Structure 1
Amino acid sequence: MFCNQCEQTARGEACCTIGVCGKNEEVAGLQDALIHALQGIAHLAVAARGADIIDQDLDTFVMGGIFTTLTNVDFDPQRLAKLIHQTVERRAAFAQRLTEAGVEIPQNHPSINFAPASDCELLVEQGKQLKLVETLDSDPDIRSLKQILLYGIKGIAAYGDHAAKFGKVDTDVCSFIYDGLVALGAEGLSLEDCVAAAMKAGEINLRAMEILDEGNTGRFGHPVPTSVPLGHRKNKCILITGHDLTHLELLLKQTEGKGIDVYTHGEMLPCHGYPELKKYDHFIGHFGTAWHNQRLEFGDFPGPILFTTNCIQKPGPHYADRVFTTGLVGWPGIKHVEENDFSEVVAKALEMEGYQEDSENGSVMVGFARNAVMGVADNVIEAVKAGDIKHFFLVGGCDGSNGGRDYYSEFVAKTPKDSVVLTLACGKFRFFNQELGDIGGIPRLLDIGQCNDAYSAIQIAVALSKAFDCGVNELPLSMVLSWYEQKAVSILLTLLYLGIKDIRLGPTLPAFITPKVLDFLVENFNIQPITTPEKDLEALLAS
């Protein structure tokens, strides 16, 4: 196998035997075969769009298929093999439809006629033989940029899949995904071509996040500042993790009146700020910290655990019998339940003892998305003009277990008392319970939401730049980001598309970026790796 798509890749180069995430050679081969099969659909879809033929159901299927290959989503070979065969069946049906409509079927890529083996072991070998990353291009710099494009597409597809749960499927988003998948196999692309494609990915990801935001806020309302207990109460309980708000809503509805409390884990924490979710009396609080601590923490939760999206690790034997997956998530031997029927999860909760006593463990604040922050914009602007707020820091991103990530907790702790820290995504679990106080009633630590809510952070920055009649790069705003997987790549591309400069990125730079590509990013956007909290704070405050 060869995989270097996440920050924790082995030796900072690539995982070649087993993934740090737990992915083995079998799963890696199947994921590559799945991307290859989806490229076949992409070639047909590009031809179809030329004839004004759009299949929204197929678009949704493709986004889900791509999302499945993200880090820590699906580790189940049987589910992956089934999805590959479904992809090829859909490709064949779509090709037949195009033929009947008089559209010429392209034959310019092997994926168009890819025939997967019926035997899973043989299918794994097919995937290995593809050498998906190594064969992107013989030029290492072009290959690097194509990898950036591929991982950007994966992030875009993740947001697009979430948005599709609300019936929001954007034609431009899907068209770019198809164009991008086709471009991965194109020969003779220049550096300029690949850079343009990466910048376009940033633009399209902004749209994907926008329609997801419309879906979330349209159904559940705009988040409001909310105190979330970190303790628990005596009762039966269920823990839900991942990112999917629609799954959380279904679980809350299906547990209502059954004497079961629902707790969030990981990126589900910001869900407590949504008015239409807050109204459930049994939506109690939050358990645990970041996703990578689950094997240490889940044994202490006395109820079933439901995974809704990426971030699953190999379940420990002491709690594996009460783990359930749904949607795109899968792990061999773990019970998978349908997305709209959590009855087995509910039954398991009723069977278990649950919490036997109440416990207080403090609380944290969430709900400072763009509406909440803009609601006090006048106060914020006045505080800046009065000199009470001198700097804003956006500190967030994807967390991970490798060394160097204590940097972010130290950085936040050392930010000046006349500064405000905006945060989002699971990177905040390095410091989410720090007591930073407030400035004139404005909390110094503002949780904007999930990584999916990066759109909100961008809108806050844009609104502040308009209020101060300057560009975003002229604001007293610094971005210090951590990254782990492919959604972080797509968000970074969006920030670059918007022209945002001087981003500090860590804890390490992506292994798939060559020195020449890095030089381009430094020269054009002044992206810099993090150093130490003290040095970076000094430099950022001086700029």
Structure 2
Amino acid sequence: MFCNQCEQTAKGMACTKIGVCGKTEDVAALQDLLTYSVQGLSVVAVEARKNGIVDNDINRFTAEAVFSCLTNVDFDPRRFETLINKAVELREALKEKVKAAGGSTAFDAAAANFTPADSLDGLIAQGMELDFMNSLDENEDLRSLKQITVYGIRGLAAYADHAAILGQEDDSVFEYIHDTLAEFTKGGQSLEQLVGITLKCGEVNLKAMELLDAGNTGTYGHPTPTEVPLGAKAGKAIVVTGHDLKDLDLLLQQTEGKGINIYTHGEMLPCHAYPELKKYDHFYGHFGTAWQNQAKEFPEFPGAILFTTNCIQKPKDSYKDNVFTTGLVGWPDVTHIGEDKDFTPVIERALALPGFPEDTDKGSVLTGFARNTVLGVADKVIEGVKSKAIRHFFLVGGCDGAKPGRNYYTEFVEQVPEDCMILTLACGKFRFFDKKLGDIGGIPRLLDVGQCNDAYSAIQIAVALANAFDCGVNDLPLSMILSWYEQKAVVILLTLFSLGIKDIRLGPSLPAFITPNVLDVLVENFDCKPIAETPAEDLKTILG
């Protein structure tokens, strides 16, 4: 086992026995083998496109399979067995289509001719022998860039899948994934070529996030500022975690009139701001904080728990029977809701559990400051800057995690001067999301832009402000203080790089898969740097 794709990887180097996420050696081997199988499928997909063949089922499968390998998504070996076999079945069927179209089916890449073992144990052995990440390139710097890209593609696949679920697709996104995974079956790329491929991942991800934004807002309306209760309402309950708006919508539809209140957890918090979701009377409030606290928080939840898209941890026995997964999320021996999205088992479990015995008041938080809302008060923001009422903007967001050092972000927000505004998004905000920071000219100082999936909104806000001041984004009084954990954060960082955005501070530690030489390239071109030891140091550097 060799896995260094998340920020909490063992000893800051790599997990080699068991993942800090709970991933076993067997699951790690199956994820490597699935990635390798999708590489083989990609080789054939590239040839198919040359012959005018674009298969949407293969596009969708590619996104789902690659997304399944992202941290904290799927831990169920049997589901990986199914995905690996399906990748090979689709590959061979596509070869026949290519042959019929007059294309070549003589592929040199071993991945394009790989035969999977006929048992789960055999597949695990194949994956272990593969040692996928270390086999990408003998040169450590070239391997580093390929790893950054593969991890970025996992984040890109996640956004592409989220968007496709809502009917938003663009073949150029899938074409990039296929082209790049196929390219990595070869050797001989230069450092400069690989830097270009890596930045292209960020560029393509901007398109994927634009599609996702269109899917979310086109289906559920533009978010509006919304107060979300942090307490409970007496009655039966279901909490939904993950990221998927459509799963939440379907659950709200199926629970209407059943006497069950629906709560969000983690990155589902911003869902309360969408008009077509908050119209449900039984969509009540938010429970708990970020993904890494679920083992502390879920034993206290007296209802059913539904995981969508990702961020699952090993469920404790005290609440395991209350847990359900859907979509790409999987854990062995946990009930999975299939493609029919019939949430009856979740509903029945919620009705069988006690629910909350009484109303509780734990205050509230404000969400819903996506691009449409913020740009709607752009004139006030611009006037605030011109009058010096607003000195600086900070985007403080990204992934949360359990590793020490993340209190930096809480302390940073607490120490930001009162004439500065803070935009935030993703689960990193749970370090400070409930702080009451007041307002500047009637605009809250702390603006929750949404999920990590809503990074497009933050980018559009920055671009609009730059246009208003007739300057580049790098010339704005704006600083980005980002935390990372998994591969969605990696691809968002690549997107920012592809846009030429500089002077980003990243923490709590730099990625283990970036070598010193590659880091030098990033520092030289983008002035990317680690966060300082204390927020005070960074604030002094930024504000003077």
Measured against the shorter chain, the TM-score band is over 0.9
Aligned to 1:494: 495
8 A contact 1:43–1:106 mirrored in 2: no
Match of residue 146 from structure 1: 146
* Equivalent residues of 1:5, 1:486 under 8 A apart: yes
1:511 aligns with 2:512: yes
Calculate percent identity across the aligned residue pairs. Answer: 62
For the residues of structure 2 that align with 1:8 and 1:185, how far apart are their CA atoms?
A: 28
1:505 alignment partner, SS class: strand
Distance 2:186 2:492 in 1: 25
TM-score by length of 1: 0.99
Cα distance in structure 2, aligned partners of 1:469 and 1:159: 31
Distance 1:165 1:46 in 2: 24
Asked whether the 8 Å contact 1:226–1:366 carries over to 2, the reply is yes
Deviation string for 1:179-214 (max 9, x for gaps)?
111122220100000000011111000000000000
Matching residue of 1:197: 197
Q: Which residue identity does 1:285 align to in structure 2?
A: G
Q: In structure 1, how many angstroms separate the alpha carbons of the residues matched to 2:186 and 2:112?
A: 14
Q: Which residue of 1 aligns with 2:314?
A: 314
C-alpha separation between the residues in 2 aligned to 1:346 and 1:502? 48
User: What pairs with 1:426-445 in structure 2 (closer than 5 Å)?
Assistant: 426-445=427-446
Residue 278 of structure 1 aligns with an amino acid whose one-letter code is K
What is the rounded CA distance, in whole Å, between the counterparts of 2:60 and 2:182 in structure 1? 18
Residue aligning to 1:536: 538
Tell me, yes or no, if the aligned pair for 1:109 and 1:185 is still in contact at 8 Å.
yes
Matches of 1:200 and 1:181, distance apart in 2: 13
For residue 192 of structure 1, what is the amino acid of its counterpart? E
AA in 1 matched with 2:539: L
1:2 is matched with 2
Distance 1:106 1:404, change over 3 A: farther
Q: CA deviation at 1:225?
A: 0.3
* Corresponding letter in the other structure for 1:518: L
Q: Is there any run of 5+ residues in structure 1 with no aligned partner, and where?
A: none
- In structure 2, what is the equivalent of residue 224 of structure 1? 224
Q: Distance in 2 between matches of 1:311 and 1:180?
A: 26
8 Å CA contact 1:56–1:169 kept in 2: the answer is no
CA distance change for structure 1 residues 507 and 106 in 2, over 3 Å: closer, same or farther?
farther
Within a 5 Å distance, the mapping from 1:255-274 to structure 2 comes to 255-274=255-274
Deviation at 1:337, TM superposition (A): 1.1
Q: Which amino acid aligns with 1:124?
A: I
2: CA distance, partners of 1:76 / 1:65: 13
Q: 1: distance between equivalents of 2:319 and 2:337?
A: 17
Matches for 1:387-402 after TM superposition, within 5 Å: 387-402=388-403
Which residue is equivalent to 2:337? 337
Maintained 8 Å contact 1:399/1:426: yes
Aligned position for 1:108:
108
Deviation at 1:106, TM superposition (A): 4.2
**What residue ranges of structure 2 are gaps of 5+ in the alignment?**
none
Equivalent residues in 2 for 1:306-385, closer than 5 Å = 306-339=306-339, 340-385=341-386
Q: Please tell me whether the aligned partners of residues 48 and 94 of structure 2 are also in contact (alpha carbons under 8 angstroms).
A: no
Q: 1:377, 1:269 → 2: CA distance? A: 24
Distance 1:58 1:217 in 2: 27
Which letter does structure 1 place at the counterpart of 2:535?
P
C-alpha distance in 2 between matches for 1:499 and 1:108 = 37
* Secondary structure class of the residue paired with 1:31: helix
1:422 aligned counterpart, secondary structure: strand
Q: Distance in 1 between matches of 2:111 and 2:6?
A: 25
Q: Deviations over 1:489-523 (max 9, x none)?
A: 10000000000000000000000000000011111
Query: TM-score normalised to the size of structure 2?
Result: 0.99
Task: Check if 1:296 corresponds to 2:304.
Answer: no
Segments ≥4 residues shifted beyond 3 Å: none
CA displacement 1:459-517 (0-9 Å, x = unmatched): 00000000111100000000000000001010000000000000000000000000000
- The answer for the alignment partner of 1:31 in structure 2 is 31
Match of 1:469 in 2: 470
CA RMSD of aligned residues (A): 0.7
In the other structure, the counterpart of 1:175 is 175
In 1, the alpha carbon distance for the partners of 2:249 and 2:186 equals 42
Q: 1:407 corresponds to which residue?
A: 408
What SS is found at the alignment partner of 1:536?
A: helix
- Aligned residues of 1:47 and 1:106 also touching (Cα < 8 A): no
Deviation at 1:37, TM superposition (A): 0.5
SS of residue in 1 equivalent to 2:133: coil
Output the CA distance in 1 between the equivalents of 2:261 and 2:134.
Answer: 48
Paired with 2:365 and 2:289, the residues of 1 have a C-alpha distance of: 12
Q: Distance in 2 between matches of 1:105 and 1:246?
A: 39
2:86 is paired with a residue whose SS is: helix
Q: Which amino acid aligns with 1:211?
A: L
Matched, 1:213 2:240: no
Amino acid at match of 1:5: Q
